[in-house]
Amino acid sequence: MKRKVCKEQKAGVKPSVWRSVLALTVALLPVAAALLASCSTTGNKNCQESTDVFLYADIRSAATGALQEVVFDCIKGVGTDSVWMESTSLTSVTLPLQPNADTTIFILDMRAAGNKPVADTLTMVHTNRPFVLSMECGGIVIHTLKAVSCTHQRFDSVTIEEPEVKNVTATHLTLWMP
């Protein structure tokens, strides 16, 4: 009499071993999913606060105080290889401040009357203070503006409206156009 052999036995593994491996895999699947979710690069879903810290600057007419639209060819940071914005028309700009330096400089390439290219340099002197939001959100750097200046190529002047730059949207600077 010939004995029947199941597929698992033909492979050299007993059926009880396969059941144990399957049970262990099913038991560890939720743990593996939780670990993968915690390593997500899209942010922590438990964090309810913004971790983005940007300086917001309105562009206004010195004559009327109204928001004024300016055509920018590009906005780039000094000391970095990156261009922050390219070819856009704005009434306000959003800029990051350097968390590891006390001065941040941007070159704002714009168009003047007659479509003539003009560059103004915006320099911001600031302090940096690390701040922990929560365990879920981690930390941010809060900046305090101490002084700002421009090269007066296109802007008439610049004023500090709100010196504390943190993870809340507020107008920090006003860039005045003649």
> Tens digits of per-residue pLDDT, 138-167?
999 999 999 999 999 999 999 999 999 999
CA-CA-CA-CA torsion sign (176, 67, 95, 113): negative
Residues 127/111, Cβ–Cβ less than 8 Å: no
**SS3 assignment, position 34:** helix
Would the pTM count as exceeding 0.75? no
How far apart CA 15 and CA 6 sit, in angstroms, is: 8
- Report pLDDT for 42: 47
Confidence of residue 2 (pLDDT cuts 50, 70, 90): low
| Residue among 56, 43, 61 at smallest CA distance from 161 | 56
